[in-house]
Structure 1
Amino acid sequence: MNRLSKETSPYLLQHANNPVDWFAWGDEALQKAKTENKPILVSIGYSACHWCHVMERESFEHQNVADVMNEHFVCIKVDREERPDVDAVYMDALQAMGTRGGWPLNVFLLPDSKPFYGVTYLPPQNWVQLLKSVNNAFVNHYDELANSAEGFVENMVQPEANKYGLTSSESGYTIDALDQMYEKLSLNFDIKKGGMDRAPKFPMPSIYKFLLRYFDITQNPAALAQVELSLNRIALGGIYDHVVGGWARYSVDDEWFIPHFEKMLYDNAQLLGIFAEAYSLTQNSLYSDRVTKTISWLSNEMQSPDGGFYSALDADSEGIEGRFYIWKKAELQSLLGDDFEWFSKLYNISAQGNWEDGYNHLHLTNYVSETAKAAGIYSDSFDQKYKNALQKLAEARVHRIRPGLDDKILASWNGLLIKGLTTSYQALGDESIRDMAVNGGRFILEKMTENGKLWHSYKNGKTSITAFLEDYAAVIEAYLGLYQITFDPLWLTEAVRLSDYTISNFYDSSDGYFFFTDSEGEALIARKKELFDNVIPASNSMMAQNLYVLGKILDRQDYLDLSDQMLSKMNKILLADVQWVTNWAALYCQKTSPTAEIAIVGEDADELRKDFDRFFVPNKVVVGTKTSSQLPLLENRTKVNGKTAIYVCYDKTCQLPVTSVKDALEQLG
Structure 2
Amino acid sequence: MRWLLLYLFFVSACRNTDLNRLGSASSPYLKQHADNPVDWYEWGEEALTKAKLENKPLLISIGYASCHWCHVMEEESFMDTAVARIMNEQFICIKVDREERPDIDRIYMNACELITGNAGWPLNAFALPDGSPFYAGTYYEKESWKSLLLQISKTYRQQPGKVKLQAQSLSHGIAQLEFSVIDTSVNSSAFTVSDYYKIYSAVQNKLDTVFGGLTGAPKFPNSPLLEYQLQYAAITEDTIALQQLLTTLYKMALGGIYDQLEGGFARYTEDSAWATPHFEKMLYDNAQLISVYAKAFKLTRDPLLEKVARQTIDFVFKTLKTAEGAYFSSTNAVSEEGEGYYYTWTYKELETLIPDFLSQFSNYYQVNKSGNWKNGRSVLRAAFTEEQFALLNKLNPESFSAQLASANQKLLAYRVKRAKPSVDTKIIVSWNALMVMAYMDAYTAFRDTAYLNRATQLGELLAAEMDKGIRHIAEAGKEEVFLEDYVLVGKAFLQLYQQDFNKEWLFRSAGICEQLIEKFYDNEAGIFYYTSAEKGYPVIRKIGLADTEIPAPNAIAAILLYQIGSLLDNKEYLQLSASLFGKIKLELVGDKAPYYGTWAQLAAWYGYGTKEVAIAGSDALRINQELQQNYLPLAIFLGTEKEEFIPLLHNKVTMTKTMIYVCEDGTCKRPVENPRLALKQINQK
TM-score normalised by structure 1 residue count: 0.96
Matches within 5 A, 1:628-639: 628-639=643-654
Aligned to 1:456: 472
Give deviations 1:24-54, integer Å, cap 9, x for gaps: 1112211211222222111111111111111
Letter in 1 for 2:502: D
Shift of residue 157 of structure 1? 3.9
Letter in 1 for 2:43: W
Give deviations 1:266-291, integer Å, cap 9, x for gaps: 11111111111110000000001111
Aligned to 1:569: 583
Shift of residue 165 of structure 1? 4.7
- Structure 2: how far apart are the matches of 1:582 and 1:81? 22
Matches within 5 A, 1:212-611: 212-378=230-396, 380-446=398-464, 448-451=465-468, 453-458=469-474, 461-573=475-587, 576-577=590-591, 578-611=593-626
Shift of residue 158 of structure 1? 4.3
- Structure 1: how far apart are the matches of 2:326 and 2:189? 44
Letter in 2 for 1:637: K
Shift of residue 319 of structure 1? 4.9
Give deviations 1:347-375, integer Å, cap 9, x for gaps: 23321122212212111122112112323
- Structure 2: how far apart are the matches of 1:98 and 1:35? 31
Q: Report whether the alignment pairs 1:168 with 2:201.
A: no
Letter in 2 for 1:381: S
- Structure 1: how far apart are the matches of 2:184 and 2:142? 43
Cα distance 1:379–1:97, how it changes in 2: closer, same or farther (>3 A)?
closer
- Structure 1: how far apart are the matches of 2:117 and 2:178? 20
Gaps of 5+ in 1: none
Secondary structure, counterpart of 1:464 in structure 2: coil
Q: Report whether the alignment pairs 1:102 with 2:120.
A: yes
Contact 2:21-2:40 at 8 Å conserved across structures: yes
Contact 2:264-2:286 at 8 Å conserved across structures: yes
Secondary structure, counterpart of 1:657 in structure 2: coil
Contact 1:416-1:474 at 8 Å conserved across structures: yes
Letter in 1 for 2:438: G
Aligned to 2:71: 53
Aligned to 1:177: 195
Aligned to 1:11: 29
Contact 1:602-1:625 at 8 Å conserved across structures: yes
- Structure 2: how far apart are the matches of 1:592 and 1:441? 32
- Structure 1: how far apart are the matches of 2:340 and 2:250? 22
Contact 1:270-1:417 at 8 Å conserved across structures: yes
- Structure 1: how far apart are the matches of 2:579 and 2:304? 40
Cα distance 1:597–1:150, how it changes in 2: closer, same or farther (>3 A)?
same
Aligned to 1:127: 145
Give deviations 1:437-456, integer Å, cap 9, x for gaps: 1111111122x3244x3011
Q: Report whether the alignment pairs 1:154 with 2:168.
A: no
Give deviations 1:367-399, integer Å, cap 9, x for gaps: 112112323343543333322222222211111
Q: Report whether the alignment pairs 1:136 with 2:154.
A: yes
CA RMSD in angstroms comes to 1.8
Shift of residue 415 of structure 1? 1.0
Cα distance 1:99–1:215, how it changes in 2: closer, same or farther (>3 A)?
closer
Give deviations 1:395-421, integer Å, cap 9, x for gaps: 111111111211101011111111122
Aligned to 1:43: 61
Secondary structure, counterpart of 2:541 in structure 1: coil
Letter in 1 for 2:442: S
Give deviations 1:147-189, integer Å, cap 9, x for gaps: 2222223333448436755542366222211222222221222
Gaps of 5+ in 2: 1-18
Shift of residue 629 of structure 1? 1.3
TM-score normalised by structure 2 residue count: 0.94
Cα distance 1:151–1:305, how it changes in 2: closer, same or farther (>3 A)?
same
Contact 1:180-1:575 at 8 Å conserved across structures: no
Letter in 1 for 2:665: D
Secondary structure, counterpart of 2:473 in structure 1: strand
Shift of residue 242 of structure 1? 0.9
Contact 1:345-1:375 at 8 Å conserved across structures: no
Cα distance 1:512–1:200, how it changes in 2: closer, same or farther (>3 A)?
same
Shift of residue 462 of structure 1? 3.8
Give deviations 1:76-100, integer Å, cap 9, x for gaps: 1000110011111222233333452
Secondary structure, counterpart of 2:354 in structure 1: helix
Shift of residue 240 of structure 1? 0.7
Contact 1:273-1:419 at 8 Å conserved across structures: yes
Cα distance 1:229–1:61, how it changes in 2: closer, same or farther (>3 A)?
same
Q: Which moved more, 1:182-191 or 1:371-380?
A: 371-380
Shift of residue 22 of structure 1? 0.6
- Structure 2: how far apart are the matches of 1:520 and 1:113? 19
Cα distance 1:216–1:336, how it changes in 2: closer, same or farther (>3 A)?
same
Structure 1 segments, 4+ long, off by >4 Å, are 162-166, 574-577
- Structure 1: how far apart are the matches of 2:188 and 2:605? 17
How many residues are aligned here?
664
- Structure 1: how far apart are the matches of 2:542 and 2:49? 23
Q: Which moved more, 1:187-196 or 1:93-102?
A: 93-102
Contact 1:169-1:571 at 8 Å conserved across structures: no
Shift of residue 649 of structure 1? 1.4
- Structure 2: how far apart are the matches of 1:638 and 1:620? 21
- Structure 1: how far apart are the matches of 2:476 and 2:99? 17
Q: Which moved more, 1:499-508 or 1:145-154?
A: 145-154
Paired residue for 1:651, among 661, 665, 684?
665
Contact 1:574-1:585 at 8 Å conserved across structures: no
Cα distance 1:95–1:199, how it changes in 2: closer, same or farther (>3 A)?
closer
Q: Which moved more, 1:64-73 or 1:142-151?
A: 142-151
Give deviations 1:308-331, integer Å, cap 9, x for gaps: 111111112235321111111121
- Structure 1: how far apart are the matches of 2:290 and 2:206? 24
Contact 1:212-1:227 at 8 Å conserved across structures: yes
- Structure 2: how far apart are the matches of 1:141 and 1:283? 64
Cα distance 1:89–1:380, how it changes in 2: closer, same or farther (>3 A)?
closer
- Structure 1: how far apart are the matches of 2:502 and 2:384? 42
Cα distance 1:30–1:561, how it changes in 2: closer, same or farther (>3 A)?
same
Q: Could you tell me the percent identity over the aligned residues?
A: 39
Letter in 2 for 1:589: A
Letter in 2 for 1:482: L
